[in-house]
Structure 1
Amino acid sequence: MAVLCRPAVWVPENTISMEETLALARRLHAGHEKLPLVLRMIRNTGVAKRHLVQPLAVTLTHPGFEARNRFYVREARARVPDVVREALSSAEVTAQDIDTIVFVSCTGFTMPPLTSWMINELGFRSNTRQIPIAQLGCAAGGAAINRAHDFCRAYPGSNVLIVACEFCSLCYQPDDLDVGSLLSDGLFGDAIAAAVMRGSGGEGMELVGNASHLVPGTEDWIAYEVKATGFHFRLDKRVPGTMNVIAPALDTLAEAHGWDATDLDFYIIHAGGPRILDDLCGYLKVPPKAFRHSRATLTEYGNIASAVVFEALRRQFAEGLPPGARGMLAGFGPGITAESCLGTWVHSDRVRSGRRTGNVDALPVQLPVPPEPDRHSETPSPHQPKNRGSA
């Protein structure tokens, strides 16, 4: 069985509060005929604070898609290494122990993928497999976990590193004035997350099965329009109503393993918004506190896209679980796609450091420390990776 180990999560130092978001909407869209509706919808998200990869004044400008994407690449290269370093350390593996890297992001684009840069610069083996996922949006966190699980089942004993890098604020479009876009401007935040799935040993969520489900006829409900100015996010008001289709799919996955989706010990659910969490609670017949880690992530960070499930899982690690606790993890996004998995909590003394758990032994190596970025220094938050220095 494969074990999903403790995630590492980084958020930028720049923040914007709910009240600042509302004041900004009033100032920028004073003449918008649906401003009262937009303000009410933003309040209803319950997002108290979001983190932005650039200061707010810079975020509100639009220097062009090319400039934004250059910034995405530069900032990802500056920030990803520390998050990866902490995830590897938490799993007690090294870069040389990793057989595959799954990298997910829907907020910037590179070719070759960032995995190539990571292999070249961060000490991974040159035969490390690369699985970049760019078009599943918020569902990509769950998809990455499931694809890592598939790989570990196909190649027993292998280890997979998962990285999610989401700078949603780089998709801000000042000229998009539809209600869905304005709501998104008050919902999404920025974050980077990483976690290791170990093919043997480890402590965390030992996966027993996974599944994907596409809600028919909804492929344009969560979408990008790609224009000269970049990615323009489109969100249909019918999206929250899809939980009545997704909940039975989660039931089916649980039943296939002899479990009851309404009676599990923990739930790690993508926090796309409060309505999604509330509706899914109702359909699964679980109390609101069952999704407490997802709700806390939404409140403190906003919707951080594919990184949500990792932050919610990090909070579950911090709270702790007894061995044998059974749970579910699920991500939702464009398609509309649901990616879900089941697992039991394991406390393992099989964790080791210095040698691979896969098919080939290797000497331990340290990830090289990248040059310090010259933009600005940051003060780590309680949820930022340790030993970050000023990077």
Structure 2
Amino acid sequence: MTRIVAVSGVLPAHRYRQEEIAEALAALCLPPGTDRAALRRLHAGAGVTTRHLALPLERYADIDGFGQANDAFIAAALDLGERAVRAALAESGLAAEEIDLVVSTSVTGIAAPSLEARLAGPLGLRPDVRRLPVFGLGCAAGAAGLARLHDHLAGRPGQAALLLSTELCSLTLQRSDASTANLVASALFGDGAGALLAVGPGHPRYGTSRGPEVVATRSRLYPGTGHLLGWDIGDRGFRIVLGGELPELAGLHVTEEVAAFLAEHDLKPADVTAWICHPGGPKVLDALQDGLGLPESALAPSRRSLARSGNLSSASVLHILRDVVAEGPPPPGSTGLVLALGPGFCSELVLLRW
């Protein structure tokens, strides 16, 4: 089995209260003279207290078009990504040249060469490192990336692999767009990056780490739901698609999928000690909690992460896993579940054991 030996999460320096962001975005998204009460209610009900943004708040009014937004994405993503990887390397005790595979995920910007290719030299990765940049899995990519690391290490048990997630959701904001989806996104999503290092059972670090093992993974597409979540990509970049039915789908189909996955390992939701659940928003978390019959404490790490930094797309589960470990890892033998949802509509599950 794969063992996680380090996980990090980093945030940009520009931190703002939710109320500050709401007022700034009202000026960008709403027509002059529009009543801002509805936007303020959306921001107040998002479960977010503060967020960190890639740029100073006043800079967003100056971004003109997708090209400028994407240039800003590349610059900020490289800085955050390097910080996240260096933090994970320092925690793990591994050197950059020991990494054999890098899976790099983002759905909020485009870079070719990809981010991990641009970071290879500054970080000291080997020229022959295997690279797998991933786009399109959205918020599910943090869990899916961990699953793909596990797949790789199952066949190469002596190797080490790195997952890098870099998401700058604020740079996808659509100016002069007063649609419900754009306003909900403006209330919910934040910016950040995370990195995770894992090794196979034949690696020397495997037996000396107290990190969790990956026991099993599952990917699931839900037919007929592809229109509910994703991007419409146009001249001005990424315009979010965000269906109102998502919480209901999470409460019905995703909870059934989680229960079936756990049952395959003779487990029930009540047997899971650590829930590393992507904070898709208060309604999604409520639906998962109710559908799985979980106590309020089970998803508390997800709600705290949402309040502190917003929905970080694929990076959120790495931040939450880091928090769970930092607060004191669960006792040996405890079970954890990484759960994330994304475009498709899809879910990604990773079963952990300490």
TM-score normalised according to structure 2 size: 0.93
Q: Which moved more, 1:56-65 or 1:129-138?
A: 56-65
CA–CA separation in structure 2 for the residues paired with 1:96 and 1:24: 44
Alignment partner, residue 9 of structure 2 = 9
How far is 1:154 from its partner? 2.0
Pick the structure with more helix per residue: 2
Q: Which moved more, 1:25-34 or 1:85-94?
A: 25-34
CA–CA separation in structure 2 for the residues paired with 1:115 and 1:65: 22
CA–CA separation in structure 2 for the residues paired with 1:22 and 1:116: 36
| 1:332 correspondence with 2:336 | no
Counterparts in 2 of 1:1-391, with a 5 A limit?
A: 1-24=1-24, 27=27, 29=30, 36-200=37-201, 201=206, 202-243=209-250, 244-320=252-328, 321-345=330-354
How far is 1:37 from its partner? 4.1
Q: How many residues align?
A: 345
SS of 1:119's partner is helix
How far is 1:225 from its partner? 1.1
In 2, are the aligned partners of 1:7 and 1:196 still within 8 Å (CA)?
yes
CA deviations on 1:110-162 (whole Å, 9 max, x unpaired) are 12222222333321122211111111111111110111111111222221101
CA–CA separation in structure 2 for the residues paired with 1:83 and 1:25: 28
In 1, are the aligned partners of 2:174 and 2:239 still within 8 Å (CA)?
yes
Alignment partner, residue 367 of structure 1 = none
In 2, are the aligned partners of 1:215 and 1:242 still within 8 Å (CA)?
no
- RMSD, aligned CA: 1.8
Cα 1:37–1:102 shift into 2, 3 Å: same
CA–CA separation in structure 1 for the residues paired with 2:164 and 2:67: 23
**Identity fraction in percent:** 32
How far is 1:265 from its partner? 0.9
SS of 1:262's partner is helix
In 1, are the aligned partners of 2:169 and 2:190 still within 8 Å (CA)?
yes
CA–CA separation in structure 2 for the residues paired with 1:306 and 1:171: 15
In 1, are the aligned partners of 2:80 and 2:192 still within 8 Å (CA)?
no
In 1, are the aligned partners of 2:86 and 2:123 still within 8 Å (CA)?
no
CA–CA separation in structure 2 for the residues paired with 1:132 and 1:339: 18
CA–CA separation in structure 2 for the residues paired with 1:43 and 1:189: 15
Question: Structure 1: which 5+ residue stretches go unaligned?
Answer: 346-391
In 2, are the aligned partners of 1:38 and 1:179 still within 8 Å (CA)?
no
In 2, are the aligned partners of 1:104 and 1:144 still within 8 Å (CA)?
yes
How far is 1:279 from its partner? 1.0
Alignment partner, residue 355 of structure 1 = none
In 1, are the aligned partners of 2:170 and 2:190 still within 8 Å (CA)?
yes
In 2, are the aligned partners of 1:91 and 1:203 still within 8 Å (CA)?
no
CA–CA separation in structure 1 for the residues paired with 2:285 and 2:191: 20
CA–CA separation in structure 2 for the residues paired with 1:77 and 1:24: 26
Q: Kindly provide the amino acid, as one letter, of the partner of residue 267 in structure 2.
A: W
SS of 1:275's partner is helix
CA–CA separation in structure 2 for the residues paired with 1:239 and 1:191: 23
In 1, are the aligned partners of 2:157 and 2:199 still within 8 Å (CA)?
no
In 2, are the aligned partners of 1:266 and 1:326 still within 8 Å (CA)?
yes
SS of 1:93's partner is coil
SS of 1:322's partner is coil
TM-score normalised according to structure 1 size: 0.84
In 1, are the aligned partners of 2:172 and 2:239 still within 8 Å (CA)?
yes
SS of 2:6's partner is coil
How far is 1:9 from its partner? 1.2
In 1, are the aligned partners of 2:188 and 2:311 still within 8 Å (CA)?
yes
How far is 1:26 from its partner? 5.2
CA deviations on 1:167-200 (whole Å, 9 max, x unpaired) are 1111011122111111111111100111101213
Question: Structure 2: which 5+ residue stretches go unaligned?
Answer: none
